[in-house]
Amino acid sequence: MALPVGTQAKYWTLAAVVFFGVLYVLGDVILPFILGGAVAYCLDPVADRLEKLGLHRIAAVILISVVALLIFVLGALLIMPTLVEQSIALFKAAPQIFSDLRNFLTTRFPDLMDGESTISKSLASLGETIQSKGGEFVSSLVASVSGIVNVLVLLVLVPIVAFYLLLDWDRMVARIDDLLPRDHAPTIRHLAREIDKTLAAFIRGQGTVCLVLGIFYAVALMSVGLNFGLVVGAVAGALTFIPYVGALVGGALAIGLAFFQFWGEWWWIGAVAIIFFFGQFLEGNVLTPNLVGQSVGLHPVWLIFALSAFGTLFGFTGMLVAVPVAASLGVIARWAIGQYKQGRLYRGLYDQEAVAEARTPEETSADIAKSRLKD
C-alpha cells in the first residue's frame, strides 16, 4: 500500500531541510566534493564515448585526467597571471579614462559639463572610486578564493574526488536507481532524465559556448592591439550564459576602451565592433544551436535569482549548487503544472461537457436504450 500523499510530502520536505542544513553548516567542507562531482558530471559523456571506442573505463578516466591536468596547469601558468595583471592595470587606468571622457564631453558640451555640474563631479570621482575599490576588489577576490579553495584542494583533493566519481559514475547511478521507492521510481526517473537534459544543455553546452566565445573575444581583441583585451574577453565569455548580457557588457567595454585608445583611427574601432558582431553571429547560428539546443529550460531571471539567493545564503558553495537546484526546481514545477492541468481541480466538468456536446443524438439514444435494458 502506497504512503499517503501527506506522509510523502513530510518525507520530501524533511529531505530538503536536511540538504539545505548540511549545505549551510558544512559549505566549506563539502566544497571540494561538489567541485569534484561537477567535474565528473561534465566529463562522464567523454568517458562513455571513449568506452564505446574500445577503452576500458579506468583507461578512459586516466586519459581524461591527464589531459585535464595538462590544460589546467597550462591555463594557470600562462593565462591567470596575465589576466590578473590586466585587471589591476585596468582599475589603475580608470581615473585617466574617465578624465579623458570628461575632457571630451567638456569640449563637445561645455554647458552640460560645467565644472560645478553634477555630471562633471560624478565623472571626476567615479574613476578614483573604481581605482581605489577595484584594486581592493581584485586583491580580496584572489585572497578569498585562495582561502576557500586552497592549494591542497586545487591540486590534490578535487582531482582525486573527480577521478573516483568519474570512475564509478555509472555504478553510482545504478545504485541510486536501485534505492528509489518502487511506487514512484518511473516518475523519479522521468524527472531525473529531464533534469539531466536541462543540466547537460546548460552546464556542458552553455559552458562550452562561454569558453569558446571567451577565447575568441580575447584572442581577437588582443590581435587588433586593444589594451586589456584578455580581461574584456574573459568578462564577455563569462557573462554569455545570460542571453545578450555578455555581448552587451563586453561589447560596450571593448568599444569604450577602443574609443580612448584608437581615437581618430576609426578602422580599429570598427574592427573591435565587428569582432563582437561576428561573435554574436557565431553564437546564435553555430555554437548555441549545436551545443545547447533550442531550449535550455532555465529562464535567465530565474537563474540570476537562484545565483543571488544561494550565494547570499550559502556563499561560494551555494553558487555552485544554485544551477542544479534551479534546474531541478524548474523541471519539478513544470511537471507539477502538467499534473495540475490534467487533474479535476483544473479541468472541472469541462471534459464531461465536451464529450456530451460531441455525442450525436443517435449515440445518446442508444445509451438511453442500454440503460433501460439494464434496468
Query: What pLDDT, on the 0 to 100 scale, is given for residue 259?
Result: 80
Residues 272, 221 contacting (CB under 8 angstroms): yes
| Separation CA 290–CA 286 (nearest Å) | 6
DSSP-assigned states of every residue in 83-121 = HHHHHHHHHHHHHHHHHHHHHHHHHH-TTTT-TTSHHHH
DSSP characters for 297-362? S--HHHHHHHHHHHHHHHHHHHHHHHHHHHHHHHHHHHHHHHHHHHSHHHHTTHHHHHHHHHS-HH
**294-338 pLDDT tens trace:** 555 667 777 778 888 888 888 777 877 888 888 888 888 888 888
| Contacts with 315 (C-beta within 8 Å, 6 or more apart), sequence order | 27, 28, 148
pLDDT exceeds 60 at position 124: no
Q: Quick one: average pLDDT of 41-64? A: 90
Q: Which of 58-62, 91-95, 300-304 has the lowest mean pLDDT?
A: 91-95
Instruction: Give the Å distances, CA to CA, from 210 to 195, 214, 294, 348, 353.
Output: 21, 6, 16, 47, 52
Q: Which of 123-132, 206-215, 253-262, 283-292 has the highest mean pLDDT?
A: 206-215
Q: pLDDT tens-digit profile of 189-204?
A: 988 888 888 888 777 7
The pLDDT of residue 62 is 92
Model confidence at 255: pLDDT above 90: no
Q: At what angle do helices 158-167 and 57-78 cross, to 10 degrees?
A: 150
Q: Which residue has the higher pLDDT, 154 or 160?
A: 160
- Of 314, 145, 209, nearest in space to 322 by CA: 314
Residue 223 in this model has a pLDDT that exceeds 70:
yes
Over residues 225-241, the pLDDT tens digits come to 888 888 888 888 888 87
- pLDDT value at 141 more than 60: no
Which helix (DSSP H) or strand (DSSP E) does residue 239 occupy? none
CB of 138 within 8 A of CB of 91? yes
| Maximum mean pLDDT: which of 97-101, 203-207, 281-285, 291-295 | 281-285
pLDDT on residue 82: 73
Note whether 310 and 325 are within 8 A (CB).
yes
Lowest-confidence region among 76-85, 109-118, 189-198: 109-118
Q: In angstroms, rounded to a whole number, what is the distance separating the alpha carbons of residues 368 and 372? A: 6
Burial code (b: 16+ CB inside 10 Å, e: under 16) for 94-118 equals: bbebbeebbeeebeeeeeebeeeee
Which run of H or E residues covers position 234?
helix 229-238
Q: Which residue has the cell 450525436?
A: 360
* pLDDT more than 90, % of the chain: 7
pLDDT of 374: 52
Nearest CA to 100 among 87, 88, 113, 89? 113
The verdict on pTM exceeding 0.75 is: no
Report the mean per-residue pLDDT for the chain. 76
Task: Kindly tell me if the per-residue pLDDT of 160 is higher than 80.
Answer: yes
Over 90: is that where the pLDDT of 63 sits?
yes
Q: Is the pLDDT of residue 345 over 80?
A: no
Helix, coil or strand: residue 180: coil
**Average pLDDT, stretch 285-301?**
70
Q: In the prediction, which pLDDT does 164 show?
A: 92
pLDDT at residue 166 in the model: 92
pLDDT at 47 over 60: yes
Whether the CB-CB separation of 272 and 254 falls below 8 Å is answered with: yes
Contact 209, 233 (CB under 8 A): no
Element (H, E) at 161: helix 158-167
Nearest 5°: the CA angle 311, 317, 319 is 40
pLDDT above 90: residue 91: no
Residue whose grid cell is 530565474: 302
pLDDT at residue 371 tops 60: no
